[in-house]
Amino acid sequence: MRSQKNYDAIVVGGGLVGSAIAYGLSRQNLSVALLDEGDLAFRASRGNFGLVWVQSKGDGMPQYAQWTRRSADLWPEFAEELNGVLGLDIGYRKPGGLAFCMSDQEFEDKQTMLERMRQTVPGGYDFQMIGRNRLKEMLPEIGGKVVGASYCPHDGHVNPLYLLRALHKAIQGQVDYSPNTTINRIERHENIFTAETVEGPVRAPKLVLAAGLGNRELAPQVGLQVPVSPLRGQILITERLKHFLDMPTIYVRQVEEGGVMMGDSHEDVGFDTSTTVDISRSIAQRAISYFPKLADANLVRTWGALRVMTPDGHPIYDQSDSHPGAYVATCHSGVTLAAVHARDLATAIARDSLPDEVGKFTAERFNV
């Protein structure tokens, strides 16, 4: 697959984070090698829920909220571009998103939190609290136990698999993509990084680690620390149903083809992507409480995928002091942040720096 061995940049990881960055770098006219794993890699990018989500993210870390919002703002144009590349609608829609509240207390707490974010997040934070009656008008199928919802106009959703496919298509011919590539060792001599792979060395003055959970092992080789660990989420999907839900909600969304996806659990179970009846049952119960008609739907598939989690749940963007030119990008929001990764992050890395907006995202914050 590789036509040369020397590049401007090596990106490690062909998931949503790595592919978006590789795409962005190639748009800055850098020659890029994208090194990826094979068919059975953990691939959070293949198992995720498909939300482009702003609401409630970054409470306590306004920079994260702002960065997320920035990506959501870039998304419409980004999606347009990828639709053109793929010749197919990647399914991006931005009708705003809902998070349901099941008690008055929850409703109040949500309001308080979002109010706090509105005051602290630079650039503002739009939301509305929607009471039961109005919600019922918006969603006639809503269950009787839902007391209300928070609504955020910046939220949207996309087919995450088509997103990944579009990014891979977009880099075809621009980026040297090498699947099934394991990196044995990374070294740096005279300002050039060498990634030793089974098929030989790959060289470049820039190196971006976007290998998800793999970053944990790779980063120390270039003087970085990436304390990430897997957090399992289970997802359920029904057979195709007649469209009744145009708007994404945080735990339930109806995909373009008609299936209803339900998520998401947070389980600290190590590298285990299996599904369990206790968890999938709870997910089903919650979805039915939101939309009672789902009780009649057939469940077609469940799956587990591993989120790439940092200790505080926020991304890590860092550059190495000991190995200048080495960067790391890691997060559990590869869909939401795809646009800002392809634009702001890749542009900054092409110019040998990180964007100012991500200054607070270094792994140093964990060394207190």
Partner 1 sequence: MKTVDLAIVGAGPAGMVAASEARGHGLSVAVLDEQEAPGGQIYRAVEAVAAQAPERLALLGEDYAHGRRLAENFRVSGAEHIDRALVWQLEPNGLWYLRDEVCHELKANRILLASGAIERPVPIPGWTRPGVMTAGGVQILLKSSGVVPDGRVVLAGNGPLLYLLAAQLLAAGCRIGALVETVPYARYLEAVPHLPAALGSGYLSKGVRLLRHLRSSGTRIYRNARDLRVEGEQHAEALCFHAGGHEVRLDSDLIVLHEGVIPNQQLTRALGCVHRWDDGQKCFRPETDEWGNTSVEDVLTVGDGAGIGGALAAEHAGRLAALEVARSLGYLQTRERDRLSTSSRRQLNKLLQGRRFLEVLYAPPEERQSPPDETLVCRCEEVTAGQVRTAVRTGCTGPNQVKAFTRCGMGPCQGRMCGNTVSAIVAETQGITMEECGYYRIRPPIKPIPLAALAAAEVDCELDDVAQ
Q: Which is nearer to partner 1, 100 or 151 (CB)?
A: 100
State which residue, 296 or 321, has the beta carbon closest to partner 1: 296
The minimum distance between CB 224 and partner 1, in angstroms, equals: 28
Q: Which is nearer to partner 1, 74 or 163 (CB)?
A: 163
Compute CA distances 299 → 167, 257, 262, whole Å: 30, 15, 10
Q: How far is the CB of 259 from partner 1 (least distance, A)?
A: 9
Using CB under 8 A as the criterion, which residues of the chain lie in contact with partner 1 when the complex forms?
1, 38-40, 46, 161, 164-165, 168-169, 172, 177, 179-180, 236, 238-239, 251, 257, 264-266, 275, 277-288, 294-303
Q: Is the preceding peptide bond at 104 cis, omega within 30 degrees of 0?
A: no
Q: Which residue has the tokens 């880099």?
A: 171
Of the two residues 171 and 219, which places its CB atom closer to partner 1 in the complex? 171
Burial of 277 (0-12, 13-18, 19+ CB in 10 A): exposed
Query: Taking a C-beta distance cutoff of 8 angstroms, is the pair 94, 52 a contact?
Result: yes
- Comparing CB distances to partner 1, the nearer of 239 and 356 is 239
Nearer to partner 1, 56 or 194 (CB): 56
Tokens for 332? 């559990």
Min separation Cβ 302 and partner 1, Å: 6
Interatomic CA distance for residues 167 and 85, integer angstroms = 8
CB 234 within 8 A of CB 354: no
> Residue 152 pairs with which residues in a beta bridge?
97
What's the min distance (Å) between Cβ of 9 and partner 1?
A: 19
Minimum CB separation of residue 6 from partner 1 in Å reads 21
> Cα–Cα distance between 33 and 178 in angstroms, integer?
8
